[in-house]
Amino acid sequence: MRIIVIGGAGIQALGTIYDLLENTEVKEVVVGDILLEKAEERVKQLADSRLSAKKINVLNEEETAEIIKDFDVVINSGPAFLCPNVTRAALRAGVNYVDLGAWPEETEEQLSLSAEFEAKGITAVLGMGSGPGISNMMALAGAEQLDTVSDIDITIAMKDFTKYDSPLVTPYMLDTIIDEYTLNPVVVKDGVITTIDPLISRPVEFKEPIGLAHPVYTIHPEPVTLYKSFKDQGCRNTTFSIALPKEFHEKIEFLVRLGFGSKESINMGGVEVSPRQALLSVVNQLTPPKVDKEQYSVTRVDVTGTKDGRNEKVVVEVYVGTEKKWNIPAGALKTSVPPSIVAQMLAKGQVKHKGVHPPEKCIETVPFFKELAERGMEVYSYKVEHAL
């Protein structure tokens, strides 16, 4: 297997690359990134002869297609807004594709390429991280246990016990997090795709060590793709919410409310600069702390519907801790391992559906959950009968 990871120098790609290298059938992994020096640093850090670095500017789709054309799969671990660019490059190159997910508008743009992917006999799996990704497969697992589905509610919560000496340590790409805190979340209510205000939260009680959390509704593709995937089964309502570690959430909410989430340029001492870019530039200068991480994360999907004429709710959950061997915190682990799993499935020809699909439309729950369990992430479910 030959696999290239675009955005390979980023936070989320580290676990993906570690997981790929665990399999001796993977003969080559290329760390592709616009920041070549950082990609080379990652290759040096991991010290595996199968690794190499390559500079890739995905805005140049023709050049990107030329670089990736000889690989079995391209994994896109880059920003959400660039997902359509890499998807088009994969189509041009005739290469299978996996990403961590884009926003609803970009996801629709990618899905529109399905017939062209199918004609080339290749597959693109959209949103194969934690959420979207594991969350979609958990929703499918719940729906498989019911005759009809009315509601799908996804909640992710994280708790971090790590002692950092840095003022801000991000669980994943800060630019993505700011989008999640500033853009209007898309939900489906009574069969209508709509938006709500950002930063609306509610209390949710989880098992320890998570405990009580206050997830906020954020913009994500799952509400739309899951609604469309299970519409024929009766789905009418879908949501997605996330509770990042409390201290980190409070810092980001404060910065966003101050205006640092804005992309609109302002005059600072005679120089036009966007507050967001200023924030990202400052944070990028921070040296990541070299500490042993202790973080926990849960994904919970409530699927409500009927079974044999009775109202039922299927609750599907997975609790994850830090991967001690790689020192990768729980949230990043849940996000980075699934694209490696699915990329390997694609390379082996185990994904039969061609075209462009969200995971719930082309990946089977049993083999996927088996692979997750082998990596210490066991998914389980239980039913609540006569749910109102």
> What are 23-71's pLDDT values in tens digits?
999 999 999 999 999 999 999 999 999 999 999 999 999 999 999 999 9
The rounded distance, in Å, linking the Cα atoms of 155 and 231 is 20
Mean pLDDT (whole number) for 263-280: 90
pLDDT category at 386 given cuts 50, 70, 90 is low
Of the candidate CATH numbers 3.30.430.20, 3.40.50.720, 1.10.3720.10, 2.40.50.140, the domain formed by 2-129+335-368 belongs to: 3.40.50.720
Q: Is the model's pLDDT at 385 over the cut of 80?
A: no
Take residue 277 and report the two structure tokens written for it.
């870019």
- Which residues, including other chains, have CB under 8 Å from residue 373's CB and lie 6 or more apart? 379
The rounded distance, in Å, linking the Cα atoms of 110 and 282 is 32
The rounded distance, in Å, linking the Cα atoms of 77 and 343 is 12
| H/E segment holding residue 276 | helix 275-284
The domain ranges of the chain are: 2-129+335-368, 134-331+379-385
Take residue 15 and report the two structure tokens written for it.
């676990």
What integer best gives the mean pLDDT of the chain? Answer: 93
Strands 237-243 and 216-217: antiparallel
**The CATH fold of domain 134-331+379-385:** Dihydrodipicolinate Reductase; domain 2 (3.30.360)
What are residue 33's DSSP bridge partners? 55
pLDDT score for 279: 92
> What are 226-270's pLDDT values in tens digits?
999 999 999 999 999 999 999 999 999 999 999 999 999 999 888
Mean pLDDT (whole number) for 155-181: 89
